[in-house]
Structure formats: C-alpha cells, structure tokens
Structure 1
C-alpha cells in the first residue's frame, strides 16, 4: 500500500488566497502547500488506486503529484472541500465508482450516497455504490469500511482501508470532533498510518464563538467549537489508537507561524509505503 497525501489542508487551504498572515507568507516562502483534503491510496499488488475524498483542488493535485488517476473513490461527507472534485471525472476517466454511506442525514434528508448521486447525475462516468456504515466492502482491491464520527450538523465518516493480502492498514478519522464513538475507535485502532483531523491548536479555542469542548484532565479542549479536533485532541486520540505513524491533517492557516510547520503536521506530497 502506498499512500500519498494529496491535500492536507482545511476548507481554504494554506496558503489561503488573498491572505498575508505570517503562516501563509511562510508557506509561500517554503514552497509548501496544504490544499483541500484528499488522499491517494495505491494498491501496488493490483495496480489500482483509491481516492479518499475528492478535493476541489483535484486538477492541481494530480498535476503536481506523481500518482495515477483514481479507479474508485470514497466520499466521507458532503462538504464541498471533500466532494466537489468529483466534477473532474468529466473527460478524464471512463468509469468511476464512488462509494459512500447510505445512512440518511436528518439535516439534509438524504444520505451521502444520495447527495453524490443527485449532484453528479450529469456525469456518465460516476456511478454511486451505497454502503451501510460499519460494513466492509471492496474497492480497488482493498477492504474498506466507513465508520461514523462526529461532525455536526452533518453525518460524516472515518475510513479504514486494509489490504487482506499484506495486512497493511490505513485509518482516517475524517472530519470529526474528539467525540468519536467507541465502536469507530475500535475499527480505527492499530493502523500502520493514522490521518487525524487537527484543524487548530487548542489555544485558539479561546477565539471561537463556541469555544472548545471535550477537555482533558488539565482542561485543554480537544474539540474546536463542535466540528473538528484540536491538535491536542488529535494527538490524544492517536495515542489511544496506537498507530505506527500518525500525521495530522485538515490543518488550517490559523496555526501560529512558529507552530504551523512542526513535524507532526502533514504537508501535501508526503508518501508512505507499508
């Protein structure tokens, strides 16, 4: 299994267009990017590849990273920074199965799978495959499971990708607060690589209108507002899940510049083989 982090940023990416904050300026000076979130997983045994979330930066990512176009896609939720890259299927691929959960969202009245089907019904290559959360299915030669996480007000899922032949395992928390259900934590546990949502450091919760949530024993918030983990929350979850390697993703440009390029925070283009 070869994993390429195509996009490691949040909804605006880093550097953010029009922003001259110290972090965006430093990112430009270093020549690094955190584009909108997406992960490429290559099955080196079969030559197939799986895309986890379709970033709006799809074109840029596939032009700048040495990876093949995807054979299949998994969509975790319907926010545009994880979904809207599917429009790139037009004239690039002949057939693109898109896997998504069939659980009806009380907020939207439809499932992730239903939203993908409605939004991209004009794209002949896109065919939607519906799956129940927690049930394993095959995609690009891998065993894949969507696991519920906590990203209000919408349903959202983490992803477990396993190679039954080699035992390799990738876990993705998806966009989530620290309040990941126990059953989902068990599914995500013991991965070779864990990708964990860590949008900001906990200190920035003081600036959020809703503050922080899910404090640890020292009162440090592990959730920023209600939707995403803080860096501290992601690291606490990672310690519990005991992955061989953890990379913090979905990182915003709000990290102070002196912390924004710490080793724990991923940047686009990182690759892992296991």
Structure 2
C-alpha cells in the first residue's frame, strides 16, 4: 500500500492574506499546506479520501493518472469543493466515478452540485455513481474498508481503516467502541488543529493522548492550522512515534 498526503492543512492552514505570522512567512515547504486530502494506492486501485478546493492542483502535482473512487469523510466544503474536477478522469477512463459517503453527505453533494444530477445533463459535466455507506465495513473494488465513526463537535464524520492504515480528520471525539476498530493499525493519521482547545477539532495534546491510547507503530498529524506553529519546531515536541505530516509525504506499508 502506498499513501500520499495530498494536503495536510485546513482553511486556517494555508497562507492567510495579510497574515504576518512566522508560519505564513516560512520558507520551509512543509509549512505550505493545501486543504486536507489523502491518496491511497492499494490492490492495483487508486482511491482519494476527500476532494477539497485544492483537488485539481494536488492531483496535477502528484501526476495521478488514474482515479478509481472518492471516499468522503463529511460534507464540509473544504472536503468536497473540488468534486467537479473528477471530470478529467471520466474522460480519460470512460467511466462514471464511484463516490462513497454517508447518505447525508451524498444528499449534500446532490444539492451543491445539482447540475451533475439533473435529468437533462449538460455535455461534459462530471459523471458519478453514488454509493451510500453506513458505519459497517464495505468494499471498494474488492478492497475492504472499515468506517470509523467520530464526532466533529456534533457532526458525525467517517474516518477510514484500510488494512493496517487508519485515517481520521475533523474529529474531537472518538468513542471507546470506535477506538477498538483502530487498534492494531500500524499507521494512524489523526487531526491536530492547534495547541489551544477547539470546539470541533483535537488540539495537539488531545490528539497525542488518543494516539498514546491506541498505540500504533507510527502516527502522523494532519489538518494542521498555521496556529500550531512551525513544522521544524513542533516536530521537536512530539513523541518518537509521532510526526507532523506534510503535503507530498509518501508512505509505504
């Protein structure tokens, strides 16, 4: 399995217009973050989790020539706004793009991208195939996927476990039952927005406490705001098994 971090930031993580903080002025490429998304290559298939506003730029940067499916964690715009740009893969692959998400999320996509779903579609619009999922295992082209149900304040969000890899973003609560699904993962990716508490995201200390409890061999932090601090400085504060992810980071499992 090959994992590529397409983006590790949030809308507070990209350079902010007029902001003069040290992260926004940093020349370290690891401090330059696009909206959070990840590419998973497994079993001869290529999956993306979330297609945010930077989706096209991310796919071009990584030269992703084939895309087999998109999985959505939730319906917030910073995770869905790039959906229109799957049309290039429709054209190249001559197939409708399978989308997987909670029915609530798919309903929101149909509302926000209504032109895709009208009966009289305009030539060239994205072509999709909707696949509702619930909090139970499912398969994508024969690849087993286990959803992890977490809370983003009061909003249910899905993380996903694929083999020994678990990916969770936009969470500030994970129940004990859902943590059991994660345990045994060799690599866990978890959100850590900033050091200060936040109403809907894990802070750095909260994320580290969850990772200590779950005990993966290796963990990476994502959905990082510029308020967390400089990559090279934050890295020094982390336990030996935890690293900050950065855009373009590639893992092999």
Q: State the 1:152 CA deviation.
A: 2.3
Q: For 1:219-257, what per-residue CA distance to the aligned partner results, in whole angstroms no more than 9, with x for missing partners?
A: xxxxx2320001111111111112121000000011234
2:229 to 256, 260, 265: 256
Ranges in structure 2 where 5+ consecutive residues have no aligned partner? 117-125
Query: Structure 2 vs 1, CA of residues 198 and 91 (structure 1 numbering), >3 Å: closer, same or farther?
Result: same
1:195 to 173, 178, 189: 189
- CA distance in 2 between counterparts of 1:180 and 1:265 reads 20
Cross-structure match for 1:117: 110
Q: For 1:38-97, what per-residue CA distance to the aligned partner results, in whole angstroms no more than 9, with x for missing partners?
A: 000001x42x10101112101111121243442101101111111111121234424211
Ranges in structure 1 where 5+ consecutive residues have no aligned partner? 103-110, 163-168, 205-223
- CA distance in 1 between counterparts of 2:49 and 2:102 reads 13
Asked if 1:80 is matched to 2:74, the reply is no
- CA distance in 1 between counterparts of 2:11 and 2:184 reads 28
- CA distance in 2 between counterparts of 1:260 and 1:87 reads 35
- CA distance in 1 between counterparts of 2:234 and 2:215 reads 24
- CA distance in 2 between counterparts of 1:140 and 1:11 reads 32
Tell me how large the CA RMSD over aligned residues is. Answer: 1.9
Query: Structure 2 vs 1, CA of residues 125 and 18 (structure 1 numbering), >3 Å: closer, same or farther?
Result: farther
SS of aligned partner of 1:23: coil
Cross-structure match for 1:160: 161
SS of aligned partner of 1:247: strand
Aligned residues: 233
Cross-structure match for 2:122: none
- CA distance in 1 between counterparts of 2:66 and 2:192 reads 27
1:173 to 165, 168, 174: 168
- CA distance in 2 between counterparts of 1:17 and 1:260 reads 23
Asked if 1:182 is matched to 2:176, the reply is yes
SS of aligned partner of 1:240: helix
Task: State the TM-score, normalizing by the size of structure 1.
Answer: 0.79
Q: For 1:79-116, what per-residue CA distance to the aligned partner results, in whole angstroms no more than 9, with x for missing partners?
A: 111111112123442421110013xxxxxxxx112212
Q: For 1:191-226, what per-residue CA distance to the aligned partner results, in whole angstroms no more than 9, with x for missing partners?
A: 12111010001xx3xxxxxxxxxxxxxxxxxxx232
| Structure with the higher helix share, 1 or 2 | 2
Task: State the TM-score, normalizing by the size of structure 2.
Answer: 0.85
Cross-structure match for 1:89: 86
